[in-house]
A and B are shown apart, each in its own frame.
Chain A
Amino acid sequence: MLYRVIDAQELPALVRAFMESYEVVAPVKRGSGYVFRAVDDPADIALSYTMTDSSVKKYLLPPDEPLMRFDARTNLVEDFHEEVTPRVLFGLHACDINAINRLDLVFRDGAYPDPYYCARREATLVVGISCMPGDHCFCQLWGSDEVQFGYDLFFQDIGGKYLVSISSVTAANILESACNPREATDEDRIEFRHATRRRQAAFNPDIPRIEDVSMLMDAFHKDPFWDELGGRCLSCTACSAVCPTCYCFDITDELDPDGAHGVRKRVWDSCTNPSFATVAGGHNFRPTGRERVRHRMYHKLNGFMATHDRMLCVGCGRCVDACKANINPIEVLKFFEKKGLEDVE
């Protein structure tokens, strides 16, 4: 990996350089929180955010995405063309870049590369920035507090300066044209080490460290805990809407007003949606909150592990804020922390 150092004041120039060729999406303040949206002015970017309300997955998997156009009278596909906006996702934390890497596994690297996702991913640059954890962050449990790949640039805040990891030629060229990147000194490297230690020490100690949660979930698949947790679920699907790695979708046809033509789309869906596992004829394979919530937690903390050797949860904590029924991975960790101890006390 190539490392360079730039001054913090040079960042707006870099953003402006990106803006010449790309739409720049970055965290901005909205109400009491932060969101990712397209910005016109580098001054609008709020890089000191803890966590945004929703993730950047909407730029790779739009919530409502046309797949093709059709003629409903002939049942044939019609010409469809869409230009993909070249885009820089700017100011992502390590967890969100790790989340994109997981989406890549499903939509880009598998047996069926998804042409829509791949076109958007291809046209996207990812620029990350280091962060300090908030109360609901637990990325360090799954090792998502650091990111090894999947970005073009990553900025590590070392006090008025950034240590920049440069991993693509495109980004290196823009960085060199807009800023004055210089070789990292020993002081820079030591400050980087301190910053990493400060982050690692700042995680909320009340979140239990249960690193073998995958195995425990297999063993406790039938525990009454899931009835209790799932019984609280309101099926609002907010968890998967804010989750940076939830990618399930539905495919639907939408007719134009003339009824003759239309568009086939994919729209976000969620396994906590009550009819998600229903088949023709009405049989529902996950009929209650118990099965649905358990399935979602399993896919996040166990199932993806079994097929891809890593969690599908990056510990960003967004679902902790979004769920009105307090259903989230931290609750699962707390359950396993207490399980078996009630009898001893």
Chain B
Amino acid sequence: MSNNRYGASIDVPAWREQPRPATGAELMAQNAYRPWPARITSIKELTAHEKLFEFRLIDDRLRDAFHHEPGQFVEVSVFGVGEVPISITSSPTKQGFIELCIRRTGAVTEVLHEMQCGDIVGLRGPFGRGFPVDKMRGNDILVVAGGLGIAPVRSLINYIHDERADFGKVTIVYGSRTPSDIMFRDQFEMWRHRRDFDLHLTVDHPDDDWDGAVGVVTEPMKTLDINPRNTYGAVCGPPVMYRFVVAQMRRMGISYDRIYMSFERHMKCGMGKCGHCQIGHQYVCIDGPVFNYWEAKNIQGSI
């Protein structure tokens, strides 16, 4: 933004005009509202409503500058339709590519679901505060997710998977409405056969082939044997789920500040300004989306 004698001007130049030697971090900092072009490199159908997209930022400077924590999100643009906040579902250990699990549920995601490999979208971010992986290191991890809530915690699970020696016992509880709504089935199959992941799947409404547990996620949680002093909880799911899961974790003896949860809100700007994602005095986009239970208890209207 340049200054003339008294006034100023606003410039948002096209991408190809961006002068080198600006670094990726400098480009991003110039104008955080500005999405950068990213190409779809892979699309995988997960369920009838959800697809797993893999994106690659086209500009290598931005690609090198893009680092995220599990639990952070990006804003995805389809120009002319709009922009949506989507949590990153790939691990930070997977560099150069960004995976997003996208449910077909609105105008922008409708268009995204029609897109093909090679198509270009706009990406900006990453935004927000993710799961505290540095604090979690060396501890046992209890992940509880429901429905699409698996997307942000999958980033954490995959990170633990890649840095497995750094973490203790890992327990994953995942609840879906029906067996056909279970996302990342092949990955769950893989985790199921690893002895160092304790996996519990449950569904609300079983079909004829389902031989697993039936009921809400708190049911399998009751059977778990965990060491509360050495365990971090990570929770994400539909709004109604939090109160019950957190209460169960408290009953298991996990401290308020060791239970981390990711909140869903409509983060429109991602920078603590537009107000749409506010809960009480906190902005989910910059103060969250991951909060611990102590913080959440101190936000009026959070759970």
Spell out A's residues near B (CB within 8 Å).
21-22, 67-72, 74-86, 106-107, 110-112, 114-116, 118-120, 122-123, 218, 221, 247-253, 255, 259, 262, 264, 266, 269, 271, 276-281, 283, 285-286, 291, 295, 298-299, 302-307
B33 touches A67 (CB 8 A): yes
Sorting the interface of chain B by its residue count into under 10, 10 to 19, 20 to 34 or 35 or more gives 35 or more
CA distance A157 to B109 in the complex (A): 58
A83 touches B265 (CB 8 A): no
Inside 8 A of B119's CB, which chain A residues have their CB?
75
CA distance A114 to B278 in the complex (A): 18
Which of B191-231 touch A at CB < 8 Å?
A: none
Task: Output the nearest chain B residue to A106 by Cβ-Cβ distance.
Answer: B273
- Asked if B271 is at the interface of the complex by the 8 Å CB criterion, the answer is yes
- Which of B1-9, B138-146, B152-160 interfaces with chain A? B1-9
CA distance A21 to B264 in the complex (A): 48
A106 touches B272 (CB 8 A): yes
B274 touches A269 (CB 8 A): yes
Given contacts A83-B9, A281-B105, contact A253 B79 (CB under 8 A): yes
Given contacts A86-B7, A111-B271, A221-B300, contact A74 B276 (CB under 8 A): no
A84 touches B9 (CB 8 A): yes
Inside 8 A of A249's CB, which chain B residues have their CB?
268-269, 273-275
Spell out B's residues near A (CB within 8 Å).
1, 3-15, 17, 30-35, 37, 77-84, 103, 105-106, 109, 119-122, 239, 264-266, 268-269, 271-276, 278-282, 286, 300-301
CA distance A122 to B4 in the complex (A): 11
CA distance A285 to B275 in the complex (A): 13
B7 touches A79 (CB 8 A): no
Question: A299 touches which one: B7, B84, B273, B278 (CB < 8 A)?
Answer: B278
Given contacts A22-B6, A112-B32, contact A119 B275 (CB under 8 A): no
Given contacts A74-B120, A277-B266, A298-B280, contact A112 B271 (CB under 8 A): yes
Q: How far is the CB of A253 from chain B (nearest CB, A)?
A: 5
B10 touches A114 (CB 8 A): no
- 10 nearest CB pairs, A to B: A303-B281, A248-B275, A72-B80, A86-B6, A112-B271, A86-B7, A70-B79, A119-B8, A68-B12, A80-B12
Inside 8 A of A71's CB, which chain B residues have their CB?
79
Inside 8 A of A269's CB, which chain B residues have their CB?
274-276
Given contacts A75-B120, A280-B84, contact A271 B275 (CB under 8 A): yes
Inside 8 A of A72's CB, which chain B residues have their CB?
79-80
Q: How far is the CB of B282 from chain A (nearest CB, A)?
A: 8
B81 touches A119 (CB 8 A): no
Could you pull out 8 A-B pairs where Cβ atoms are within 8 angstroms?
Answer: A75-B121, A111-B272, A114-B271, A123-B7, A251-B269, A253-B80, A271-B275, A306-B281
Inside 8 A of B276's CB, which chain A residues have their CB?
248, 250, 269, 276-277
CA distance A82 to B122 in the complex (A): 22
Given contacts A79-B17, A107-B273, A250-B274, contact A85 B7 (CB under 8 A): yes
CA distance A264 to B83 in the complex (A): 10
CA distance A48 to B208 in the complex (A): 79
Task: Output the nearest chain A residue to B127 by Cβ-Cβ distance.
Answer: A112
Question: B1 touches which one: A110, A119, A253, A285 (CB < 8 A)?
Answer: A119
